[in-house]
Structure 1
Amino acid sequence: MNIKQLRAFLCVAQSMSFANAANQLHLSQPALSLSIKSLETSLGGKLLTRSTRTVSLTPEGEALLPIAKRLLTQWENAEDEMKQRFALQLGKISIAAMPSFAASLLPQAIRQYHQRFPNVQVTIDDVLSDAVVDMVANNQVELGISFEPDTLNDLTFHPLYEDCFIAILPKDHPLTEQNSITWQALLAYDFITLQRPSSVRALIESALANAGIPLHVAFDAHQLATVGRMVSEGMGVAVVPALCRKQANEQGAICRPITTPDIRWQVGVVCKPRSHLSVAAAAMLDVLIDSYRSLDLESH
C-alpha cells in the first residue's frame, strides 16, 4: 500500500465514479483501475464493487475510508511541514555559547537571523566554553560558540574572530594610570581567575608558564561574571577575554590591555560537518560568520 494508491482509492470512494476520479487525478481510467487493483491485492481483498453504472464500497472499503482520510491528511501535513522547514518558514535550532559571548555579542546575530527567518525558533544555552564542545558532540545542540578547542574529533571549527585577553582593575587602582599593563606588574596584586577546569584559566597558566612567570591565585570563581564582580568590589585584579569588556565596564571595573605575554585565542563555531546540519542551523552558521568576520574587540 502506498500513498498514490490511497489517494486513488479515496478519490473513487468520494466521487463514486472511476471516470470522475480519473479526471481529478489526471489519470487514464485503465491506470486508475490498475492502481485500485494493486491496492486490493496488497491488502488481500475487494474494496470496491463496480457494475456497469455504479460503484460502491465493500464493508472493508467502508472500514478503510476513514483510515485513508486520516493517513492522507497526516501525509499532506508532514509534506507541508517539511517544505516549510526546508524553506526556513518553520524550524527550531539550539545554540550553546559561552556566557560572556551570549550576553554581549550573540544577540546581534540572533536579531539578524530572526529578521530573515522569523518563524524559526532559536534556543540558547549559556554554558562554560568546555561544556559547549561536549553539548555539540553529544547532539544536545547543533551549534556551539567557544574558544577553539584543543581537539575536535568528528567536529569542525569555524573561526569568527581572534579574541585578546585584557586586564580588569577596580576603580582607583594604581595600575589604571597606565595605558598598558605587563603581567609582572599585574601579578603584584591579588589575582582572581576562573576555577579549574576552565579553558580560560588553562590558557593563562600555559602562557605564563612558557614565559617563566609564576602565577599565584588569590581567589577563583566559576563564572567570568563573578570574577568581574569581585574585581569591581576591590578584591583584586583579573585577566579576561576582551569580549567581557562591556560586562566588566557595566560592573564598574576598568579595562586595560595586558602584554608580555600577549594572549590571543580564536573564538568560533563548533559543530558537526555542514552536511550534518539542519537547514536552519546551516543558515545560522552563515549569519554568525558574516556577523563577526571583521570584529575587532581591541577597539571596543
Structure 2
Amino acid sequence: MNTMQLECFLAVADNLSFARAAEQLHVTQPAITHQINSLENELQAKLVRRTTRIVELTPDGRTFLGYAKNILKATHFAKKRLSEHHQDYIQTFSIGCHSPSELNLISPVLKQLYQTFPTLHPDLRMIPFPALRNMVEEEAIDVMIGFRDEKINLASVTYVELAQCGITCALSKEHPLADRKQLTLKDLNEEPIVLCEPDRCAEAIAQLQGHLLASHSHSPSQIYFGENLECTLTLTKAGIGLALLPNLPFMHQEGLTYVPLENESIISFGLYHKTSFNSPILKTFIQILKKLCQPF
C-alpha cells in the first residue's frame, strides 16, 4: 500500500468520478483505475463499484475510507516533521518507569512542565525493571523513575534522590492487625503474606521478603505471590494476606490500611538520568518532582 493508491481512492470517493479524480490529481484516468485495482487486490476487497452510469463506494469501501484518511494524515505529518527543522519546536523527553504507581506520580509533573515547555513531547515507557536498568545504562532513555539500585553502573548515569522512606504493611481494613500503630517482623511471621516479585520492588523490600520466606512459621499455603505491586495489593484488598511496600503515599491505594513496620531499612526513591543530559526540561522536571516528594 502506498500514498498514491490512497490519494487516488480518496479522490474517487470525493468526486464519485474517475475522470474528475484524474483531473484533481493531474494524472490520466487509466492511472487512477490502475491504482484503485492494485489497492483492491492488495486488500482483497472490492472498494469501488463502477458502471457506465455511476461510481459508488461499496460497504468495504466506506469502511476503508476512514482508515485511508487517517493513514494519509499520519504520513503527511511525518513527512512534515522530517522535512522541517522540527527539533526547534518539538522537545522530546523519554521517561521510563516500571509501575502504574510511578505513572500516577509523573502525570501532575508533566502537567506543570507543559506550562513552561509547551512544545514538550513526552515519551513514556513502562518496562520491567531489569530491562529499564539496561536502557538507562545504555542511555536509551533520558530519565528513569524508581528506587536506588546498587547494580546500576553510575559511570554514565546520575542518581538524584527525591525522597527517603521506611517500609509499611498494607492490610485490608478488616484485618485483625489493621488498628495497630506499628508491626514487627514477628507479627508478619504469624500472618499470611503476599510477596511481590523481587524484580518489581525496592531492594530493601526484596531482601525483607527473602528473610520472611526463609523464616515464615506457617505452611507454604499461607504465602502468596503477586507479579507486581498492583497485583500484590489486589490480593491484599481481598483479605488474602498482608503486603510490604515503601511508605510512599503515591503508592498507596484506596481500600487498604497502612501500618508502618518496625524496621531500620531506609529506601531511597529518585531518578536516574543520563549524565550527559543536562537540559532545562530535566532541571525543571527534577524541581517539580522534589516539591511533590517533600511531604514524603
Q: 1:225 aligns with which of 224, 230, 251?
A: 230
Report if aligned partners of 1:170, 1:232 keep a CA contact under 8 Å in 2.
Answer: yes
Q: CA deviation at 1:179?
A: 1.5
| SS at structure 1 position matched to 2:166 | strand
Letter of the 2:123 counterpart: T
- Matched residue, 2:7: none
**Secondary structure at 1:249 match in 2:** coil
Computing the radius of gyration over CA atoms, which structure comes out larger, 1 or 2? Answer: 1
CA contact (8 A) 2:101 2:251 kept: no
Alpha-carbon RMSD across the aligned residues, in angstroms, is: 3.0
Q: Which residue in 2 is equivalent to 1:148?
A: 148
List aligned pairs for 1:1-300, cutoff 5 A.
Answer: 81-82=86-87, 84=88, 89-153=89-153, 154=155, 155-200=157-202, 202-207=203-208, 214-215=215-216, 218-243=223-248, 245-246=249-250, 248-250=252-254, 252-259=255-262, 261-273=263-275, 276-277=276-277, 282-293=279-290, 295-296=293-294, 298=296
Check the 8 A contact 2:167/2:265 in 1, yes or no. yes
Cα separation, 2, equivalents of 1:297 and 1:186: 28
TM-score (norm 2): 0.61
Query: Unpaired runs of 5+ in structure 2?
Result: 1-79
**Displacement after TM superposition at 1:187 (Å):** 2.8
AA at the equivalent of 2:131: A
Given that 1:242 and 1:297 are in contact with CA atoms closer than 8 Å, whether structure 2 keeps it comes out as no
Tell me the TM-score normalised to structure 1 length.
0.60
Distance in 2 (alpha carbons) for counterparts of 1:189 and 1:183: 10
Shift of 1:161: 1.3
Q: 1:188 to 1:265 in 2, by over 3 A?
A: same
Task: Map Cα deviations across residues 180-217 of structure 1 (whole Å, 9 max, x no partner).
Answer: 212221231111111243453x4235357789x83577
The amino acid across from 1:269 in the alignment is: L
For residues 209 and 233 of structure 1, the distance between their equivalents in structure 2, rounded to whole angstroms, comes to 23
Q: Matched residues, percent identical?
A: 17
